[in-house]
Chain A
Amino acid sequence: MSRAVSIWPASADPIGSTKSGLVAAGTAGPGWARGNSKIVNDVVGLIVGGLALGCVYALVATGVVLTYKTSAVFNLALGAQAFTAAAVMYSLRNNLGLPLILSFVVAVLIVGPLLGLGLYVTLFRRLRNVPEAVRLVVALGVLILLPAIVQALWFGKGGNRGSPPALVLEQDKVYAWGPVSIPADQLSTILFTILVVVGLVALFKYTNLGLQMRAVVESPRMVQLAGINADRVSMISWMLSGTIAALGGVLLAPLFLSITPSNYTILLVAAIAAAVFGRLTSLPLTLVGGLALGFLQQALSRYLPSDSVLAQGLRPSLPFVVLFLLLLFWPGLRDRREVTDPLAGVDPPASSIAGTVRASKDTSKVLPLTLGTVVIVALCLLLPGIWMYRITGAIVLSTIFLSFTVLTGMAGQISLCQAAFAGAGAYGAAQLANHFNVPIMVGLLVGGLVGLAVGMLISLPTLGLRGIYLTLATLAFTLMVDQIVFPLEQVGGGPAGLEVPRPYWSGFIDFSDDRAFFLLCVAALAVAALVVWLVRRGTTGRFLDAIRGSETGAASIGINPSRAKITAFALSALIAGVGGVLLSSWQQRTSAGDFGVGNSLLWALVVIILGARTIKGALAGGFLLVLFPELLKAAGIPNPEAWQGVVFGLGTFVFVRHPEGLVDAIGGWYQRHFGRPERTTEEVRRIVTIDLSEPEPPAGNGASSPQAPYTAGVGPLPDTAGAVAGTAGGGSYRYAQAGSGPPQPPSMPAPPSFGGT
């Protein structure tokens, strides 16, 4: 029987596979292992080791802040960029045996900046005027895409020719001065970081370019007015941050036994924690944050007893815990409005995600839909066993994905912890079944409730967080749960995983047969879909729509945004919890990585790219994610998991053009070419805009009108113009914030907006 939907290629690699914590922890300098000098050496080792690790964090964090400030992109992909550089370095040095210097030049000084430049030019440059959420999803896609490409093309099993190369002249050399001994690789990390910091200071202080970058950071609009090309500045800062991240990636590599994407996810999260410490603005504070985190982690690995599972989980998870706490308690992050840019008010209001991501609302008729479903389900029952098994998996996954429809589609929150909800439900039910003989039918309910409880746990403290910060909090939360809680014997059953029975209850209920279980899953999906459908068109759905449109506006008419968001979180976690129980019962066991961070990210990416607003999107996601790898396997493609990541990651490029989701985009395309003409919102918008305009021939776009900043892009006049007649007088302003947003100079940077949800 084919096993789980195991997905993220890295999830197999244990994250804690560092060389005895860190190198410094193991290397006591020769001859200094006695008496006082041992303590000195200990302390020095701690300082140097912490410093080296902190330097790597600080480097990547600098990259995060640079790109965020100059192009408003929170670049999650930096972790993947660092990974790519490290893999290139490894291949050149260890596999091809090139000289160290040459490998370094290629990996860091060529691949690094080119990757940054390429990402900016092909993807992020166009994203200035889109909602922040879209930028975030694109960055997430790249975070998955790059490692998948590297692994699919040549780096499949990670490095297997010795340990990753350090940037030192002599491997494993230890420099010793008196009681102080420093391993060469740590020394070089520190020196490189000093070099970068000095370089950045010089750049910002003494060069014209640095001055321009600082100006862009202060106010992109002001810069534009002053005639500086903000686009060029962003481009350079992407190259710069790419180089710095590549350096960080190459420096980090020798601290671990092998080069895996998950190690670089940790690096990324640590860097984000440092950047958040610097409030995403201050580079000095960011550096301090990175160093402090390095020290803290080093101290923990020294002084925590290494045998308890909790400690083992906590040590590598420190960055997640720190990031989570910073997001909750670090002053100055919550409710940051755009007060820092003196010209923030001159822009037309930013379009919200609801404006851009306007999707259809599953308007199919009920009767044909029901009949069609019944027919398809009946046909499925005729399928050969293995296919029915797989389709069952797809249905279960679709059920879980409906939790995105609630939380991301309806509430506009991009959550990266849906797998944690599902896992909580699955483990809860499985433990009850194994220890207390609670039938899994009851476990289904319990699983939902456990998921719901975890949902509350994360939603209550993060209520004040907006947009990107909420997403980061959910990412940190998933990592914590995945690393600390799920590996526990009492939760996930340890390395062996848990047996999960099929729903069975002493003769009355028996779903142990694959066919019966299939029907049960279909029923569960139908119920979940019905609930989502009812809620979305009901009061809760409308309130959530309103909040997504304008939270202030919603509160001003008495809608409680917190309550609505908690409701969405609860419902979403409940669905995910039930789905998680079904998923584990489908596989009849759980194993590490089922509900890990890899799946969390991939699930979010797939559902959002396909369409988080619609039930169709969730269904498409479930089927694609289960059946696509089977297709790849059937086609005999080696390393199908990596290729799957490549394909879904590439979906990002489509998403950039169709943020409403691929399913809807295809539907719209079909409708335009083959369907009956039906006036879409977009057309109505155009018509109304034209009706209000002066009686001039509607040229290519309305940029010639006197109120250019407030003029929506008016396309060619459709024949249906005038259908909406009598639009009560002619407003002297035309105003629209939907669609592509008001036309602006192509390089006008968007404000670092925080309310993008």
Chain B
Amino acid sequence: MPLLAAESISKHFGGIAALVGVDLNVEPGEFVGLVGPNGAGKTTLFNCLLGILKPNRGRVFFRGRDLSRMPMHARARLGLGRTFQRLEVFSGMTVRDHFLVADRSRRKKGGLFGDLVGQGTPTRREDARAEAVGELLGLTELLDVPVDSLSLGHARLVELGRAVLTEPKLLMLDEPSSGLDRVETMEMARVLQSVQAERGTAILLVEHDLEMVSLVTSRLYVLEFGEMLATGPTPQVLAHPVVRRAYVGDVA
């Protein structure tokens, strides 16, 4: 049984058909890529999967459960984590607080009572977990900096760390490398691979950087004008002439 199964998702905005009957599967622990030209509908698909948008047609199953009527936070609790192309960081909060909040959310803390009896202050364990993630992502120096002052690339890393701390079964990343330079992108690729390998997290990666995609993903979906153009093992898909024409734009 696939971890995530999206069945014929359709979404339109007024006259624009952003997604037309899209199918997508992710197996547990798999590293899958999703590529497509600008405006292909990749972000829209993510939004439909997490419940930010309601698809006009189609259904999403995750760990065997139908997500259609589930609100966003419940889907997240079930094990869907994601980062955003247009940042959704908690402005005004420090990096450490981002991680702390994610950690507490995963452990289903949040009762008023706990706060009143003084359990609100971060414990040493919580700090340790936040620092571990900070170290993994190279954010150690920035832990106590308000997120608003970070560069775009670093803010993306904060979103990644926040998602990782919720220990998702499936991590959906929307163009994590934009805002990073070459070296940082490769570093990011390494981090993602280690997250996948060590925690067994499945990853669904939207990315324009084909080098990174071919480096980390084992399977690839190609989306164009809201329709799934191709899927299969990454090297073969990338080599396919139709895909090259549609996505890369030049047929060598």
Contacts and interface: CB of A to CB of B under 8 A. Distances in A.
Most chain A CB atoms below 10 A, which of B72, B97, B119? B72
Given A550-B88, A728-B138, A731-B181, 16 more contacts: A355-B92, A534-B120, A549-B91, A549-B92, A555-B76, A556-B76, A684-B146, A688-B149, A724-B141, A729-B183, A731-B151, A731-B152, A733-B153, A734-B152, A737-B148, A738-B146
A727 B142 contact: yes
Contacts, number: 201
Contacts of B84: 552-553, 556
B91 A355 contact: yes
7 contacts: A545-B90, A559-B105, A564-B110, A685-B146, A731-B152, A731-B179, A731-B184
B120 A539 contact: yes
B76 A558 contact: yes
A118 B121 CA distance: 48
B102 interface: yes
Interface stretch (A346-354, A419-427, A428-436): A346-354
A512 B42 CA distance: 68
Interface string A298-318: 000000000000000000000
Contacts of A552: 52, 72, 84, 88
Most chain B CB atoms below 10 A, which of A339, A531, A557, A737? A557
Q: Determine the interface band of chain B, counting residues with CB < 8 A from chain A.
A: 35 or more
A490 interface: no
Contacts of B149: 681, 684-686, 688-689, 712, 736, 738
B222 interface: no
Interface in A489-533: 531
Nearest to B100: A542
Contact of B148 (A548, A564, A724, A736): A736
B166 interface: yes
Contact of B81 (A556, A681, A686, A736): A556
A556 B101 contact: no
Given A541-B120, A556-B76, A692 B151 contact: yes
Interface of A: 339, 345, 349, 351-352, 354-355, 358, 531, 534-535, 537-543, 545-546, 548-550, 552-561, 563-564, 567, 571, 681, 684-686, 688-689, 692, 710, 712, 724-739
Contacts of A345: 86
Nearest to B72: A555
A283 to B, nearest CB: 21
B115 interface: yes
Contacts of A354: 90-93
A704 to B, nearest CB: 18
A732 B181 contact: yes
B151 A555 contact: no
A556 B171 CA distance: 11
- The secondary structure that dominates the A interface is helix
Contacts of B77: 558
B148 A537 contact: no
Nearest to B121: A537
Interface string B111-145: 11011101111000000000000000011011001
B147 to A, nearest CB: 8
A733 B104 CA distance: 31
B170 interface: no
Pairs A-B, 6 closest by C-beta atoms = A538-B120, A538-B115, A731-B151, A549-B90, A553-B88, A738-B148
A561 B73 contact: yes
Given A560-B73, A681-B146, A692-B151, A550 B105 contact: no
B232 interface: no
Given A354-B90, A542-B100, A733-B152, A557 B115 contact: no
A546 B120 contact: no
B116 A534 contact: yes
Contacts of A531: 116
Most chain A CB atoms below 10 A, which of B115, B141, B179? B115
Contacts of A554: 73, 90, 101
A555 B71 contact: yes
Contacts of B230: none
Interface in B174-193: 179-181, 183-184
Given A339-B13, A555-B71, A571 B105 contact: no
B116 A557 contact: no
Nearest to A564: B110
Nearest to B140: A728
Contacts of B87: 349, 735
B180 A731 contact: yes
A550 B89 contact: yes
A697 B120 CA distance: 43
B91 A351 contact: yes
Contacts of A726: 141
Contacts of A352: 91-92
B139 A557 contact: no
B181 A729 contact: yes
A455 to B, nearest CB: 14
A539 B114 contact: yes
B102 A557 contact: yes
A184 B152 CA distance: 65
Given A685-B148, A728-B141, A738-B91, A556 B183 contact: no
B155 interface: yes
B163 interface: yes
Contacts of B100: 542
Most chain A CB atoms below 10 A, which of B111, B116, B146? B146
Given A555-B73, A557-B163, A685-B149, A540 B115 contact: yes
Most chain B CB atoms below 10 A, which of A351, A537, A559, A689? A559
Given A545-B93, A557-B105, A732 B179 contact: yes
B91 A558 contact: no
B101 A557 contact: yes
Nearest to B94: A681
B145 A684 contact: yes
Nearest to B165: A557
A732 B153 contact: yes
Given A556-B76, A728-B139, A733-B153, A535 B92 contact: no
A400 B138 CA distance: 46
B142 A728 contact: yes
A296 B148 CA distance: 50
A542 to B, nearest CB: 5
A105 B181 CA distance: 65
A733 B106 CA distance: 31
A204 B74 CA distance: 48
B112 A733 contact: no
Contacts of A545: 90, 92-93, 97, 101
Most chain B CB atoms below 10 A, which of A345, A534, A710, A712? A534
B73 A558 contact: yes
Contacts of A738: 91-92, 146, 148-149
A542 B92 contact: no
Contacts of B98: 546
B248 interface: no
A681 B142 CA distance: 13
A531 B112 CA distance: 10
B17 interface: no
B59 interface: no
Most chain A CB atoms below 10 A, which of B120, B162, B165? B120
A546 B101 contact: yes
A195 B39 CA distance: 47
A335 to B, nearest CB: 10
B50 interface: yes
A558 B75 CA distance: 7
A111 B21 CA distance: 59
